[in-house]
A = this chain, B = another copy of it.
């Protein structure tokens, strides 16, 4: 079976590689979807599911094997997706994702193939459609909408790690039904709500050869501009290996396989997810993700009462930002509206504070330049304090830089004040403040000519 899968994957690569990989260079480049996703830098994912309403602590393990006793608890009386999206927009996000289905299996839209959906509840007389509201709010506020779909776990239908629980032809029949139901739901998601920015399969989707829903052709057919993440055939982005909202440095956007796993051991697998592979033949940038309510001993993707004290402070969020966006990774922050249907006031406030702080720090550089080649210099009209540099490659032509130094003109000579390997979409480099009127980027190793679309200097008071 493994051998067969490999052949399928090779075949797949041969047919689809032209869509996403360069044949112009010896190294991969992003497709336009990946490029947009990386340039967005910051997004959110709204987690919303039945158990938000049960007043109990969320237990993921139990949730996966224990159906919610009464789905009529879904009753967000003041649901206002405009308010959700505004709260995210205030943080500066460019895209937002909603869990159309999570592990309970309950679908937050009007499905014609999955009865366990908003048609079943009394809320809005069975006519509510949170996906529709959400997408419309996103468009209203110019935030790109994406959808998160959970098909790996489904306590309602009795699906555990993709497999319908049971035996014999009984199991096989229900597995087939589940496969078709999932394909049907995905088709609905892909056809009823306009263009989507990302489809995110929760915990991935299995390979169709294993009897799993054949999701890739559906997304490719109906949402050609949508980032696909992910199944055993393809990942257009990868999980950055933790839910800490950070990736280590360096973190390359390239990967050895078209699907987001690799390495012979768990350790190697995690290292690959976190750091990528500069020699990888596939473009697959890393996502950093974390729940906003993940501070000080909690890590909650779903709203629960009494978690307000666990909202990350701005300083922690900025630290994440440096270690995700600043490490060439797109950061997706987990938000969760409350049982009333609104983003809680403390979360709203924190998101605004965070967005304000990002703007305060990075909106106004001291100086900016761009250019091609191994050396790029910024001259200031007068000496200034500098303590941050942002470097951005023009990644539409790949990650070309492999080794670089940053030098400042100090006391009549160039002094190295920082160095690194990966730049990619964005490298934020922080150092003790210096006073200088010249700073330069020296690339000592690269593939092809480095293309720097942005080199900016900042003096940021923290």
- A173 at the binding interface (Cβ < 8 Å): yes
> Which chain B residues lie closer than 8 Å to A122 at the CB level?
112
The answer to the question of A296 belonging to the interface, with a C-beta cut-off of 8 Å to chain B, is no
Contact, CB under 8 Å: B120 / A69: no
Given A158-B174, A166-B165, does the pair A69, B180 have CB atoms closer than 8 Å? yes
Q: Which of B116, B120, B160 contacts A170 (CB 8 A)?
A: B160
Q: Quick check: is A203 within 8 A (CB to CB) of the other chain? A: no
Residue-wise, chain A 169-200 has the 8 Å CB interface mask toward B (1 for contact) of 11101100100100000000000000000000
- Does A462 make an interface contact (CB < 8 A)? no
The one of B112, B117, B120, B158 that contacts A166, using a Cβ cutoff of 8 Å = B158
Give A69 to B119 CA distance when docked, in angstroms.
19
A119 with B115: CB separation less than 8 A: yes
Q: Tell whether A126 is near chain B: CB-to-CB under 8 Å.
A: yes
Interface residues of A in 63-77 (CB under 8 A from B): 65-67, 69-72
Decide if A169 touches B112 in the complex (CB within 8 Å).
no
The reply on A167 being an interface residue by CB < 8 A is yes
Q: Is the CB–CB distance between B112 and A177 below 8 Å?
A: no
**Contact of A219 with B by CB under 8 A:** no
Cα distance, A404 to B66, chains bound together (Å) = 62
- Nearest CB to that of A68 among chain B residues? B177
Residues of B within 8 A of A70 (CB): 113
Q: Are A115 and B71 in contact (CB under 8 A)?
A: yes
Is the pair B169, A158 in contact by a Cβ cutoff of 8 Å? no
Residues 373-391 of chain A, each 1 if its beta carbon lies under 8 Å from chain B, else 0: 0000000000000000000
Q: Does A164 contact B (CB under 8 A)?
A: yes
- Across the interface, name the chain B residue whose C-beta is closest to A64: B170
Give, as a whole number of angstroms, the nearest-CB distance from A132 to chain B: 16
Q: What residue of chain B has the Cβ atom nearest to residue A177's Cβ?
A: B67
Give per-residue flags for A146-161: 1 if the beta carbon is below 8 A from chain B beta carbons, else 0.
Answer: 0000000001011010
Number of interface residues of A (CB under 8 A): 31
- For the complex, give the distance between the alpha carbons of A158 and B154 in Å: 13
Cβ of B170 and Cβ of A167 under 8 Å apart?
Answer: no
Measured CA separation A170–B174 after assembly (Å): 16
Given contacts A72-B112, A119-B119, A126-B119, contact A167 B165 (CB under 8 A): yes
Q: Which residues on the B side are within 8 Å of A180 (C-beta)?
A: 69
**Is there contact, CB below 8 Å, between A69 and B177?**
yes
In the bound complex, CA of A170 to CA of B117 (Å): 22
Q: How far is the CB of A429 from chain B (nearest CB, A)?
A: 50
- On chain B, the residues within 8 Å of A113 by CB distance are 70, 72
User: Across the two chains, which residue of chain B brings its CB closest to A116?
Assistant: B115
Given contacts A115-B116, A116-B115, A119-B120, are A171 and B165 in contact (CB under 8 A)? yes
Set of chain B residues within 8 Å of A164, measured between Cβ atoms: 158
Question: Would you give the 0/1 interface string for A118-131, flagging 1 where the beta carbon is closer than 8 Å to chain B?
Answer: 01101000100000
In chain B, what residue has the closest Cβ to A117? B115
The 4 closest A-B pairs by CB, nearest first: A115-B120, A165-B166, A115-B115, A67-B177
**Interface of A toward B, CB cutoff 8 Å:** 65-67, 69-72, 112-113, 115-117, 119-120, 122, 126, 155, 157-158, 160, 164-167, 169-171, 173-174, 177, 180
Besides A119-B120, A165-B167, A165-B170, 20 other A-B contacts (C-beta < 8 A): A65-B169, A66-B173, A66-B177, A67-B173, A67-B174, A67-B177, A69-B180, A112-B120, A112-B122, A115-B116, A115-B119, A117-B120, A119-B126, A155-B173, A158-B164, A158-B165, A158-B170, A165-B165, A165-B171, A166-B166
